[in-house]
Amino acid sequence: MRWMSDGIPHRVRTRWNSRHGLEYSAISDKYKSNSVMPTVYFTKSRWSNFFIGAILLAVMFVLNLAVGWILFGNFGALFATGLLVFSLLTFPSIASQAVMRSYGAREISLHEAPELWQLFQRLTAAAGIKHVVELFYLPSSVPNAFAFGTDSNAAVCVSDGILRMMTARELAGILAHELAHIKNRDTSFMSLALVIRRVNGLLARIGLLVLFFGLPSFLMGGGGRGLLWAGVLLMAAPFVALLLELALSRAREFNADLTAAEITRDPLGLASALQKIESAIRRGHWWQSEIDPRTILREPTWLRTHPGTDERIKRLREIQKQIPPDVKPLLANREIHVVADSPRRRKKVSQVLLGSWR
């Protein structure tokens, strides 16, 4: 595997790994994108996204307190807080390898796809991630990529469909987006939101059972109106918590797009990849469009885990306007070549892993 122009970064620390052989890490600081990007704009946008996420988590926590208070007053609020803390402390830590294998993915070795590995390691270094992030391959024609874990327990998975669909520039944007999730600890954010929502649902169910079995005494005591409002709030609380969790997920996606643009210095590469994925999804629903074109993507934005593609592309184009003309993309003036040891290996890499990746 070789890069046109300046080749492999000049200062690379290597170490032996029983699974991969030689791994590239700790690439020199000249590949870190934040040293050349307009940091004022990115810092302001990042803090804005952080505050949005913090506010959403705070609202979810307050909603938990409200449900607990409806149940048992002040003691119920303390009980809800204690249950939440207990759930966070006992929340299982799942290894990223186990998660990836549960999807049917397998780890990609350095020797199977050297050009893909080199691109991934360059992006990891540009993101400033110090630990090793493992790369997995999902044998699926559906264009998809996802990340899991933080710190030393992190992995990124790409599907066969997305490898065959994307150019090197577009794939760099996709991989940078997934690495941004790891860098920004989005898994931790969403795990916290998941625990809060589950605790909220548990408390709401307990409250509804208490109201159901205590209904006769409540009615005889003349508390029918208060009982009605309590029941409505307890039934609505899990749904509101779910909407807040989805809103948090969308906010983290915007933040990952921003960080990916900072890593690659090429927001339009990610925008092009998103447009391709959106087009592939629309083609997959061609039979629906023949019956009724309005059935395509009719799901409201507030019920999605990801923002609308058009809005994401619009924001990425706005980011591009903030980048000075003298800032070059991470993959500027570079071509990628696969160097295989034998015709058999070359066939395996091109047909099984990389497909028509250009």
Q: What is the DSSP string of 188-210?
A: HHHHHHHHHHHHHHHHHHHHHHH
**Does residue 18 surpass a pLDDT of 60?**
no
Coil, helix or strand for 325? coil
In a domain, 287, yes or no: no
pLDDT reported for residue 220: 58
pLDDT tens track for 56-83:
999 999 999 999 998 888 998 999 999 9
Between 2 and 251, the more confident residue is 251
In a domain, 185, yes or no: yes
pLDDT tens track for 296-353:
445 677 788 889 999 999 999 999 998 888 888 887 644 444 333 333 333 333 344 4
In a domain, 290, yes or no: no
In a domain, 31, yes or no: yes
Tokens of 31: 């590949």
In a domain, 157, yes or no: yes
Residue 318 has φ and ψ, to the nearest 5°, of -65, -40
Q: How many domains does the chain have?
A: 1
Supply the range of the domain harboring residue 49: 2-282+297-354
pLDDT tens track for 168-200:
999 999 999 999 999 998 988 898 999 999 999
List active site positions: 178
In a domain, 274, yes or no: yes
pTM of this structure = 0.77
Question: d(Cα 14, Cα 248) in Å, to the nearest integer?
Answer: 38
- Residues 68, 267: contact at Cβ < 8 Å? no
In a domain, 213, yes or no: yes
Owner of token pair 């800032």: 327
Q: CA 303 → CA 13, 246, 248, 282, distances in Å?
A: 45, 7, 12, 19
In a domain, 291, yes or no: no
Query: Band of the pLDDT at 207, cuts 50, 70, 90?
Result: confident
Between 139 and 212, the more confident residue is 139
Lowest mean pLDDT, pick from 204-208, 245-249, 329-333: 329-333
Quick one: average pLDDT of 245-255?
93
